[in-house]
Amino acid sequence: MLLGEGDFRYEEQVGWEQIPNGWTHGDVAGIATTADGERVYVFNRGEHPVLVYNRDGSFNTHWGEGVFTRPHGVTIVGGVIYLADDGDHTVRKFTLDGDLLQTLGTANQPSATGYDPKAEGNLRTIKAAGPFHRPTRLSVAPNGDYYVSDGYGNSRVHHFKSDGTLLKSWGQTGSAPGEFYLPHSVWVHTDGRVFVCDRENDRVQIFTPEGDFIDQWPVRRPGDLYIDPQENVYIGEMYYQTGLMSLAGRVWDSDVPAQMTVRTLKGDVVTRFGGNGDPTLPGNLVSPHGIWVDNQGDIYVGEVTQTSLLGRGSTYRPTDPAVRKYARVR
């Protein structure tokens, strides 16, 4: 089955992930490849949190056991990998072989935002504060600075020097420009602009490197975002399910399936796939939480299904894949 249209057509590589016999993993929060596309890093919430595969899906290696509390976003730049752990409130920098190089934040010491995870619409309990309270992803700017989206227990973006010095934080809880209900991912473009997936506000917000608001795109529950060298923007858009409540306290009044969109740098949709009903059917998505595009234009998707609203709403099935690869057809 071909997905998408025009220059952006894809074929899902069903069964791509060749996990070792007897191994399993849960939700895949983030996924990324090396620059040459030869290794694929699957950051998951299972016993082996960092699984490394070859381009063809064959298993390569693993690491990270006993290190992470609740894996979230992943970014690879050059020969290093940045892994956000929203469970212990840190973002760590490793070599690609798993040697720790740097830690941002202090493990198990969240910033004081007043966040109450047990409250309905718990994002509304947040009073923005410093780093970190359940951070979601790090992006590296062209000059080497870091930007971190923060996250489930905060409503800010933090800008650091590469040595870990905090330069600036911006954002607060809400829906006005520059405010957030769950900054779920961040991407810094080559021109320095900062793109933030403001998930529960159904939008992507765009800022200057200093955090000044530039623009926003209406996007349905953006989970993650990737911009390729040709300035195509890929966004994984998560679902709504009738009667369930978002983390911002909104009760959805319709079923809206997940989808993948490819956009221009102005936000115009070039193509999309998924979004056609039952997420278990071929060509559809379940809950695209992490995405990456390799040097061949292939899209990798990490699905969060078991602990998501789909799991609570009984739509998820154990046979649904948590890793998907969509090979670009040229």
Tell me the pLDDT tens digit for each residue of 41-94: 999 999 999 999 999 999 999 999 999 999 999 999 999 999 999 999 999 999
CA distance 324 to 300: 6
Place of tokens 């409503």: 155
Tell me the pLDDT tens digit for each residue of 95-147: 999 999 999 999 999 999 999 999 999 999 999 999 999 999 999 999 999 99
Helix (H), strand (E), coil (C) string for the chain: CEEEECCEEEEECCCCCCCCCCCCCCCEEEEEECCCCCEEEEEECCCCCEEEEECCCCEEEEECCCCCCCEEEEEEECCEEEEEECCCCEEEEEECCCCEEEEECCCCCCCCCCCCCCCCCHHHHCCCCCCCCCEEEEEECCCCCEEEEECCCCCEEEEECCCCCEEEEECCECCCCCCECCEEEEEECCCCCEEEEEHHHCEEEEECCCCCEEEEEECCCEEEEEECCCCCEEEEECCECCCCECCCCCECCCCECCEEEEECCCCCEEEEEECCCCCCCCCCCCCEEEEEECCCCCEEEEECCCCCHHHHCCCCCCCCCCEEEEEEEC
Tell me the pLDDT tens digit for each residue of 284-305: 888 899 999 999 999 999 998 7
The confidence band for 310, taking pLDDT boundaries of 50, 70 and 90, is very low
Q: Examine the pLDDT at 309 and tell me if it is beyond 50.
A: no
CATH superfamily of 2-329: TolB, C-terminal domain (2.120.10.30)
The confidence band for 313, taking pLDDT boundaries of 50, 70 and 90, is very low
Buried b (16+ CB within 10 A) or exposed e, 305-326: bbebbbeeeebbeeebbbbbbb
